[in-house]
Structure formats: C-alpha cells, structure tokens
Amino acid sequence: MSILRRTAFALALATAFHAVPYGASAETLAGAMAKAYENNPDLNAARAALRAIDENVTIAKSGMRPRVTGVAEAEALRTNLDVRPAGNFLGRPDRQTDYVTSSYGITISQQIFDGFQTLYRVKAAEANVLANRESLRAQEISILLAAVESYANIARDQTIVSIRKQNIAFLKEQVKAANARLNVGEGTRTDVSLAEAELAAANALLTAAVSSLKQSEAAYVQIVGETPKGIKQPSSAKKAMPRSLDNAVATGMQENPNILAAMRGADAAGFNVKEAEGAMLPGVSLQGSVFKSVNTEEGPADNLSGSVTARLTVPIYQGGAEYGQIRQAKERLGESQLLVDSARMEVQRTIASAHAQYEAANASIAAIRVQIGAANEALNGVIEERNVGQRTTLDVLNAQQNVLDAQEDLAAVQRNAVVASYSLLAATGSLTVRSQGLEVAEYRSEVHFEAVKDKWFGLRTVDSE
C-alpha cells in the first residue's frame, strides 16, 4: 500500500478512532450531569431563593398567632410650694416636692376572625411554594440539559480537531508527493501550489476548530464547575425515553414542571381572590392587658389593673379600594389560568420539535456513514488514478474535501442526536437525577419547608442551626 493510500485509510478511520486524551480521570456524561447538579451556582442560588419563599408561609401564619407587647414608662415631677406665713417675707420661700409615677405591663392581642383573609393568605403562600418547587425542578432540568450540551459540544469539537489534524497530515503528504513528481518531471508547479494552498487553508481551519473547542471547554467549566477531562463521544439517552411521540406528549402533560408550576400559580391566584374578598367581611379580635403603676407622691403606692377587650369591626365603605383589589385579583386569576394553557401548548411544541430533531439526526447519521464509506473509496480511487496520470492533484484535493466534509457532518449530527434525545427527556419532565440514576444526592426542597413552616421564633436559618 502506498504512503498516500495509507494516509487516506487513516483519515477514513478518524471519525471512529479520533485521538482523545483518555485517562484515569476521564469524565462520563452522567458524571458531568451529577457535578452540574451539585456545583452549578445558578442552581444553588435558585435553591436558596426557594428557601426564602418557604418563609412566606410562616409569615402568613403570623396572622393567626397572638401579638404580645411589653410597655414600661416613668414620669418624674418636681413642684415648688410657698410655705411662709402671710406677710413674712423672710426664710425659705418654698418647699420642693419630688415624686415619680411609673407603670409597666403587657398587652396580648389575638385576631379571632378576619374574614378568612389569613387562612387564604396561608393557602396562597403554600401554593406559591409548590409552584416555585416546580420552577426549581425546571431549572434543575435546564442545568442537566446544559451539561449534556456542553459535554456533547466538546466531544464534537474534539472530533473535528482530530479530523482536521488528520487532514493536515494528508495534505503534507500531498505537498511532498507533488514536489517529488515535479522533480522527476511528472508534475507541474501548479500541482505544488494547489497542495500548498490547501494545506495553508487546512491550518487555518484547524486553528478555528481549536478555538471552538476552547470555547466549549469554557462553557463546560461554567456549567459543571470543573475542567473537562477525557471527554468521549456520548450516546443518546436511553433511560426514561418515551416509546413514541404520543407517549412523550402524554408524559409531558403530566410531569413537565413548567405546566405544574403554572397550575400551582393558578391555585395561588384563586386563593388571592378569596383573601381579597375577605376584606368585605367583619372582623373579631380580643385584647388583654395587665399593668402595674407606682406613684410616690404621697408615699409609695402600687396599683395593679387589668382589662380584656373584645372588638367587632364591620367594614362598610373603605374608599372603594377593596372592590378594586377584588377585581384585580380576579383578573390575575384569569391571567394565570391562561398561562396554564400557554404552558401546555409550549410543552407540546417543544416535545414535537425535539422528537423530530432526534429522528432526523439518527437518519442523518446512517446516511452520512454510508457517504463517508463511498467518499473514502472515491478518494482512494482518485489517488490511484492520479498516480498513473489519469487525475490531477486538484481532483485528489476535491475528493479529500468531500471526505473531510462528510466526517465533520457526522460529528455534528452525532452531537445533535445526543442533545435532541436529552432535550426530549427534558421536555417531558423526565430528565432528573432519579430517572438517570446519577450518583449525587437529590435535593429535597420539602425538608426545609417542613422545618420552617410552623416556627414561632428564631433568627438562625435551618442550615446554620
């Protein structure tokens, strides 16, 4: 086999056996997703935001609890009395009297009935917590999908870099062969120039490919939190993949977190309407006070007093604000219900798009592999024909470019197939730590909620206790 044929054969295998720096610390796609799930700062920030939203339930429940106020006050008085007999202007003209009055006590207030406003405020807060849990799950899915994309991008770019390096090796052999033929009078200077020009263009393309690879690696670090090591060509998703498009749509309608978040948001909006309507109902409250006062004007004297007050308030007219607030809450309820329909339509569109892209990518992979085989056979044939004078160097370079384009197309569609498969999982709501069996502790947002929902006091967060 000639040097040129061996070079062409090596180039034909570039896609299947491209040079990738594998090592003991090679990263898998599942490992990259697990690290992104644990390390991504945007995802951790979203978890902190949800923990803050959990506190809205405790805040809302404060309307059901008593309010205790301590009061203490003191007053010091000084008076001057004229104690001289009538007509006597000698001696001290007055007598100074000091006395202090102080009081202290405690007041307890308890709302008995407020038109169910507090009740529905709590229910709305709980519904918002559930909505934001689903929003967090949507962000978790988004981060996992971003990790897949960044991993697949690196695998694609590494393949392209390897292909272009193989191409440069091939073109260097072409330059050597063209110079050899020129020296023995079988070629022309044009052949040499064509080969050199193609080699220079290939070097420029390699530089661009290396630049793209570095950008993909930077995106990987941002998402996963670690430098990529030993990235290899990933496979399309297998776990939790839907059996058909109809099955994917049905699953998405039930499990997609964007739909569930919209539904929980509509529930919260409904409770907000009830809360606003509660402003039209009467309210009942109790207040109890105990005070102790001390007066030193005529010798120390203590006085202990207490009182209990029941108050009924009936709203009659409050400037019309309550009516506007009710109408506003109803409009927001209507908006949130429409957003549920919008979310369903968007999920259905996303699932159909991802499914179509996945099928198209798989079909393209099969077609391009056939194309690569045929292009390599054509390249080998053109090289042999050139060696016997039936083809030119330009024919060889064109045939080689066909092989190169097909191999790079294969790298691109392999990446597209991987991303489309995981995008389909993401759209159905099935791209989760549990479904993919990722080796990372699953974040359980309900743990924090259960810890704080009934807290009566305390300044420390749950994590710092």
Return the DSSP state at 378. Answer: H
More confident residue, 21 or 156: 156
Q: Which of 439, 346, 429 is nearest to 140 (CA)?
A: 429
Averaged pLDDT of the chain: 88
Q: What residue numbers bound the domain in which 379 lies?
A: 3-67+114-281+320-436+447-464
**Spatial CB neighbours of 391, under 8 Å, sequence gap ≥ 6:** 382, 383, 385
**Spatial CB neighbours of 360, under 8 Å, sequence gap ≥ 6:** none
Residue 452, pLDDT above cutoff 80: yes
Per the DSSP assignment, residues forming a β-bridge with 74 are 102
pLDDT digits (tens, 9 = 90+) for 296-330: 665 556 788 899 999 999 999 989 999 999 999 99
Q: Would residue 301 count as lying in a domain?
A: no
Q: Would residue 75 count as lying in a domain?
A: no
Q: Would residue 353 count as lying in a domain?
A: yes
What is the C-alpha separation between 369 and 375, in angstroms, rounded?
10
Domain count, the chain: 1
Phi/psi of residue 294, each to 5°? -130, 130
Residue 186, pLDDT above cutoff 80: no
Per-residue tokens: 98: 């000091």
Residue 241, pLDDT above cutoff 80: yes
Q: Would residue 299 count as lying in a domain?
A: no
DSSP-derived 3-state class of residue 406? helix
pLDDT digits (tens, 9 = 90+) for 249-268: 999 999 999 999 999 999 99
What is the C-alpha separation between 430 and 432, in angstroms, rounded?
6
Q: Would residue 397 count as lying in a domain?
A: yes
Question: What is the structure's pLDDT at 19?
Answer: 41
pLDDT digits (tens, 9 = 90+) for 121-138: 999 999 999 999 999 999
Element (H, E) at 441: none
Q: Which of 404, 272, 312, 405 is nearest to 113 (CA)?
A: 312
What does 208-263 look like in DSSP terms, one character per residue?
HHHHHHHHHHHHHHHHHSS---S--PPPPP-TT--SSHHHHHHHHHHH-HHHHHHH
DSSP-derived 3-state class of residue 65? coil
What is the C-alpha separation between 5 and 379, in angstroms, rounded?
9
Sign of CA dihedral 325, 330, 335, 336: positive
Domain CATH for 154: 1.20.1600.10
Average pLDDT over residues 418-443: 96
pLDDT digits (tens, 9 = 90+) for 262-293: 999 999 999 999 999 999 999 999 999 999 98
Phi/psi of residue 69, each to 5°? -130, 130
Q: Would residue 192 count as lying in a domain?
A: yes
Share of the chain above pLDDT 70, in %: 88
What is the C-alpha separation between 33 and 240, in angstroms, rounded?
16
Return the DSSP state at 23. Answer: -
Q: Would residue 358 count as lying in a domain?
A: yes
Share of the chain above pLDDT 90, in %: 70
Q: How many helices (H) and strands (E) does the chain have?
A: 11, 4
